[in-house]
Chains A and B, each alone.
Chain A
């Protein structure tokens, strides 16, 4: 069988599985639609959270980014896992005890204000849309690369699948499909990693291969060899960074706080029966995520070494088949600047005539082409396609649910039409999900130019708005409406303004150079500063205005005690 046949077969089978699960687990009530009826087992919820969290970017791009960034890539590894510690210790158990359906629900009730609720709804929708557009694009890319269909056709197919199971199944359908998707994606990620680790270091566990010796008989450790290759080619050593310490610090913190504040992740902890389950399922979630996140840096190092070895100073005419194949898709490019027929690899852009570097390599190729580079069987290549699709679809579905809930519950039920029947609310939820899928598909087909930039914005926004508002709502009984709203609004505006100027170059003639960054902090790390400002503003304003009403203070008392969470209570 060819790679193409294998891919159709494996992708087709996994899609059939997702649809079957969606039909089996369709939602009959708003309670099931929003929180899967609150009866999900903590381990299942851990898997679902892991799939929800690990997007097309985690699966396809992260190892590639680390591969090129070396030590600097650590910000993603620590940032996107360390956030779960904050989530488990500071948010999940208390929000579960609070027992409502959404993050804006908490903000609205805790700060006894529909203004606060609306600010939270807007943040939730903005954050989720920026994220979901990237997922639909990811689906399209995987289809186009592996099944040789148009990117847009890929987006349509992906949209149809998500449309089907998010709308029928709600949170219940999504949860159980995500469990299946986690299994598919982790298997697809690990199989090539294990093969390559065996090839290069003789270790079956990639995490051990990462710190192991090369099996080429040189007796050199993998990372030492890679550092050596980097020095030889004129790059900074792989294990040393180029970013400033303060920037690495700020980016890591913004990613952690942002992770803990992302509504589609938080809402997963409303689906388990008890406070105790919310705590442990955060542990399972991080364990399942850590399997991929500790393998990714190993893949990054293997792939980097492999790539340099295969390519550098080798004749272009003797490049293996995969090189030519990926050249056609534009993910690899070669210009023979010195016309010696050999490939010269080094720092700088290929297009820049002043550097010796003659190749361009896209980040994404490290995971997508890895099986071919390592000469693995065709079914492994097909598996990677199915895994990437599982990662993209599961995240997209989780995000769409947040958007639909924000519309049906936080806007319609809580603000516009409080007396509607449950059946009507469910229709709004389904309609909201349908609308959101279509808009997401539109962005997938016509990606706005700022999509790449906005992923950092999504984390920065979550860090600057939700995270402080929720943590203060739990840990500071004196925090009131005025403090929380002013903190959130100023935090978001500051983050957005910095991003607009320093990342997108709005309001100025050109994007300012890194030397003009405030405190030397990049837009990616600025969420940390915006979050601090939010905290200071919230604390100051709340102390100058009247304390929250007694009823709200007793809510705070109540969420601190785990007993009596029961099912999520409607109204």
Chain B
């Protein structure tokens, strides 16, 4: 591997920072839909309904899983865009 030049290094650092920002935001959503809606605030959310189900219960058994799937696909889209922006795509 060639020694990274200073400029090269600062591009890498900037890329990594943006990557970390995405991770923090996406994992925040991940936490909220499962641990938030499904566990910590389940009783409060159960006062609302989605179809014939209590909302908190629905998040714990259905909703969180749908959001998880969505999160990964959003992550893939964001990262592909980021790779392109920094010229790291293959």
Q: Enumerate chain A interface residues (CB-CB to B < 8 A).
A: 66, 71, 73-74, 77-78, 81-82, 84-85, 88-90, 93, 207-208, 210-213, 221-224, 239, 241, 245, 248-249, 252-253, 274-276, 279-280, 282-283, 286-287, 290, 293-294, 297, 554, 557-558, 560-565
With a cutoff of 8 Å between Cβ atoms, the chain B residues found around residue A73 in the complex are 61
Instruction: Report yes or no: A224 in contact with B62, Cβ–Cβ below 8 A.
Output: no
Instruction: Report yes or no: A290 in contact with B65, Cβ–Cβ below 8 A.
Output: yes
- In the assembled complex, how far is the CB of residue A395 from the closest CB belonging to chain B, in whole angstroms? 20
Complex-state Cα separation, A73 to B60, whole angstroms = 9
Q: Counting chain B CB atoms within 10 Å of each CB, which of A66, A89, A245 scores highest?
A: A89
Instruction: Report yes or no: B62 in contact with A210, Cβ–Cβ below 8 A.
Output: yes
> Could you show 23 A-B contacts with beta carbons less than 8 Å apart?
A85-B27, A88-B72, A89-B26, A89-B27, A221-B52, A223-B52, A239-B53, A245-B40, A249-B40, A252-B34, A252-B35, A253-B35, A276-B79, A282-B72, A286-B69, A286-B72, A290-B68, A294-B65, A294-B66, A554-B1, A561-B88, A562-B90, A563-B83
Q: Counting chain A CB atoms within 10 Å of each CB, which of B4, B51, B60, B72 scores highest?
A: B72
Instruction: Report yes or no: A565 in contact with B16, Cβ–Cβ below 8 A.
Output: no
With a cutoff of 8 Å between Cβ atoms, the chain A residues found around residue B23 in the complex are 89-90
With a cutoff of 8 Å between Cβ atoms, the chain A residues found around residue B38 in the complex are 74, 78
Complex-state Cα separation, A384 to B85, whole angstroms = 48
Complex-state Cα separation, A293 to B67, whole angstroms = 13
With a cutoff of 8 Å between Cβ atoms, the chain A residues found around residue B80 in the complex are 276
Q: Counting chain A CB atoms within 10 Å of each CB, which of B58, B64, B65 scores highest?
A: B65
Complex-state Cα separation, A554 to B27, whole angstroms = 27
With contacts A211-B50, A223-B52, A286-B69 known, what are 19 further pairs, Cβ within 8 A?
A71-B60, A77-B65, A78-B38, A78-B65, A81-B68, A85-B30, A88-B75, A88-B76, A207-B62, A211-B51, A212-B51, A223-B54, A223-B57, A252-B34, A279-B75, A279-B76, A557-B12, A563-B90, A564-B90
With a cutoff of 8 Å between Cβ atoms, the chain B residues found around residue A283 in the complex are 69, 72-73, 75-76
Which residue of chain B lies nearest to A555 when distances are taken between CB atoms in the complex?
Answer: B1
Which residue of chain A lies nearest to B46 when distances are taken between CB atoms in the complex?
Answer: A239
Complex-state Cα separation, A73 to B42, whole angstroms = 14
With a cutoff of 8 Å between Cβ atoms, the chain A residues found around residue B52 in the complex are 211-213, 221-224
Q: Counting chain B CB atoms within 10 Å of each CB, which of A212, A223, A558 scores highest?
A: A223
Q: A245-B39, A276-B89 are in contact. Are A82 and B68 (CB under 8 A)?
A: yes
With a cutoff of 8 Å between Cβ atoms, the chain B residues found around residue A558 in the complex are 1
Instruction: Report yes or no: A290 in contact with B89, Cβ–Cβ below 8 A.
Output: no
With a cutoff of 8 Å between Cβ atoms, the chain A residues found around residue B26 in the complex are 85, 89
Complex-state Cα separation, A279 to B88, whole angstroms = 15
Which residue of chain B lies nearest to A239 when distances are taken between CB atoms in the complex?
Answer: B57
Instruction: Report yes or no: B90 in contact with A565, Cβ–Cβ below 8 A.
Output: yes
Instruction: Report yes or no: B71 in contact with A85, Cβ–Cβ below 8 A.
Output: yes
- A78 interface neighbour in B60, B69, B79, B88, Cβ under 8 Å: B60
Q: Enumerate chain B interface residues (CB-CB to A < 8 A).
A: 1, 4, 12, 15-16, 19, 23, 26-27, 30, 34-35, 38-40, 42, 46, 50-54, 57-58, 60-62, 64-66, 68-69, 71-73, 75-76, 79-80, 83, 87-90
Q: Counting chain A CB atoms within 10 Å of each CB, which of B58, B62, B68, B76 scores highest?
A: B68
With a cutoff of 8 Å between Cβ atoms, the chain A residues found around residue B53 in the complex are 210-211, 221, 223, 239
For the A-B complex, the count of residue pairs with Cβ-Cβ distances under 8 Å equals 139
Complex-state Cα separation, A212 to B40, whole angstroms = 26
Complex-state Cα separation, A379 to B11, whole angstroms = 60
- In the assembled complex, how far is the CB of residue B50 from the closest CB belonging to chain A, in whole angstroms? 6
Complex-state Cα separation, A504 to B90, whole angstroms = 51
**In the A-B complex, the 7 residue pairs with the closest CB atoms:** A221-B52, A211-B51, A74-B60, A283-B72, A297-B61, A239-B57, A211-B53
Q: A71-B60, A77-B60, A274-B90 are in contact. Are A85 and B65 (CB under 8 A)?
A: no
Which residue of chain A lies nearest to B74 when distances are taken between CB atoms in the complex?
Answer: A283
Which residue of chain A lies nearest to B20 when distances are taken between CB atoms in the complex?
Answer: A475
Complex-state Cα separation, A213 to B52, whole angstroms = 7
With a cutoff of 8 Å between Cβ atoms, the chain B residues found around residue A84 in the complex are 68, 72
Instruction: Report yes or no: B69 in contact with A561, Cβ–Cβ below 8 A.
Output: no
Complex-state Cα separation, A60 to B40, whole angstroms = 29
Q: Counting chain A CB atoms within 10 Å of each CB, which of B71, B75, B76 scores highest?
A: B76
Instruction: Report yes or no: A81 in contact with B35, Cβ–Cβ below 8 A.
Output: no
Instruction: Report yes or no: A78 in contact with B54, Cβ–Cβ below 8 A.
Output: no
Q: A554-B1, A562-B90 are in contact. Are A249 and B39 (CB under 8 A)?
A: yes
- In the assembled complex, how far is the CB of residue B40 from the closest CB belonging to chain A, in whole angstroms? 7
- In the assembled complex, how far is the CB of residue B52 from the closest CB belonging to chain A, in whole angstroms? 2
- B58 interface neighbour in A81, A211, A213, Cβ under 8 Å: A211
With a cutoff of 8 Å between Cβ atoms, the chain A residues found around residue B46 in the complex are 239
Instruction: Report yes or no: B39 in contact with A276, Cβ–Cβ below 8 A.
Output: no
Complex-state Cα separation, A213 to B80, whole angstroms = 42
Q: A210-B62, A294-B62 are in contact. Are A562 and B88 (CB under 8 A)?
A: yes
- A290 interface neighbour in B39, B54, B66, Cβ under 8 Å: B66
With a cutoff of 8 Å between Cβ atoms, the chain A residues found around residue B57 in the complex are 71, 74, 223, 239
- In the assembled complex, how far is the CB of residue A49 from the closest CB belonging to chain B, in whole angstroms? 12
Instruction: Report yes or no: B4 in contact with A239, Cβ–Cβ below 8 A.
Output: no
Instruction: Report yes or no: B75 in contact with A89, Cβ–Cβ below 8 A.
Output: yes
Q: Counting chain A CB atoms within 10 Å of each CB, which of B15, B35, B50, B66 scores highest?
A: B35
- In the assembled complex, how far is the CB of residue A260 from the closest CB belonging to chain B, in whole angstroms? 12
- In the assembled complex, how far is the CB of residue B68 from the closest CB belonging to chain A, in whole angstroms? 5
Which residue of chain A lies nearest to B51 when distances are taken between CB atoms in the complex?
Answer: A211
With a cutoff of 8 Å between Cβ atoms, the chain B residues found around residue A88 in the complex are 72, 75-76
Complex-state Cα separation, A559 to B69, whole angstroms = 25
Complex-state Cα separation, A280 to B39, whole angstroms = 28
With a cutoff of 8 Å between Cβ atoms, the chain B residues found around residue A241 in the complex are 42
With a cutoff of 8 Å between Cβ atoms, the chain B residues found around residue A207 in the complex are 62
- B76 interface neighbour in A90, A245, A280, Cβ under 8 Å: A280
Complex-state Cα separation, A31 to B86, whole angstroms = 31
